[in-house]
Amino acid sequence: MIASSVALTLTNQAHNPLPIAAYNDQDRRFAGAFKILQEAVAARAFPGAAVAITYRGEIIALKGIGRFTYEPDSPAVEATTIYDIASVTKVVSTTTVAMLLYERGDLDLNATVVDYLPEFDTEPGKKRVTLRMLLAHSSGLPAYEKLYERATTREELFRLAATTPLQAPPLSRAEYSDLGFILLGEILSKIAREPLDRFSTEEIFRPLRMLFTGFTPREDWHAFVAPTVDDRDFRKRIIQGEVHDENAWVMGGISGHAGLFSNAPDMAQFALCMLRLGSPILKPSTLNLFTHRDALPEGTSRALGWDTPSVPSQSGQSFSSRSFGHLGYTGTSLWCDPVQQLSVSLLTNRVWPDRSSQAIKYIRPRFHDAVVQALEEL
Which residue ranges form the domains of the chain, and what is each CATH number? 4-85+219-228+261-376 (3.40.710.10)
Residues 6+ apart with CB under 8 A from 13: 80, 211, 212, 263, 265
Return the H-helix or E-strand segment holding 111: none
pLDDT tens for residues 203-247?
999 999 999 999 988 889 999 999 999 999 999 999 999 999 999
- Please report the pLDDT score of residue 11 as a whole number: 61
Do residues 154 and 163 make contact, with C-beta atoms less than 8 angstroms apart? no
What DSSP letter does each residue of 38-76 carry, written as one string? HHHHHTTS-SEEEEEEEETTEEEEEEEEEBSSSSTTSPB
Q: Is 169 helix (H, G, I), strand (E, B) or coil?
A: coil
Radius of gyration (C-alpha) of the chain in whole angstroms: 20
As a whole number of angstroms, the distance between CA 376 and CA 378 comes to: 6
Confidence of residue 4 (pLDDT cuts 50, 70, 90): very low
pLDDT tens for residues 116-161?
999 999 999 999 999 999 999 999 999 999 999 999 999 999 999 9
Confidence of residue 377 (pLDDT cuts 50, 70, 90): confident
- Please report the pLDDT score of residue 1 as a whole number: 29
**Angle, helix 96-103 to helix 178-192, in steps of 10 degrees:** 40
- Please report the pLDDT score of residue 24 as a whole number: 66
As a whole number of angstroms, the distance between CA 262 and CA 352 comes to: 18
B/e letters for 226-235, b = 16+ CB within 10 Å, e = fewer, are bbbbbbeeee
- Please report the pLDDT score of residue 216 as a whole number: 87
- Please report the pLDDT score of residue 44 as a whole number: 97
As a whole number of angstroms, the distance between CA 220 and CA 334 comes to: 26
**Per-residue CA distances from 193 to 168, 175, 289, 374 (Å):** 32, 29, 24, 46
pLDDT tens for residues 342-371?
999 999 999 999 999 999 999 999 999 999
What DSSP letter does each residue of 237-286 carry, written as one string? EEE-SS-S-HHHHHTTT--SSS-EEE-HHHHHHHHHHHHTTTTTTS-HHH
Nearest to 371 by CA among 324, 315, 310: 315
pLDDT tens for residues 68-117?
999 999 999 999 999 999 999 999 999 999 999 999 999 999 999 999 99
- Please report the pLDDT score of residue 218 as a whole number: 86
Global pTM value: 0.95
Tell me the pLDDT of the chain averaged across its residues: 94
Residues 6+ apart with CB under 8 A from 1: none
What DSSP letter does each residue of 16-43 carry, written as one string? SSS-HHHHHHHHHHTHHHHHHHHHHHHT
- Please report the pLDDT score of residue 3 as a whole number: 43
378 or 299, which is more confident? 299
Question: Is residue 15 over pLDDT 60?
Answer: no
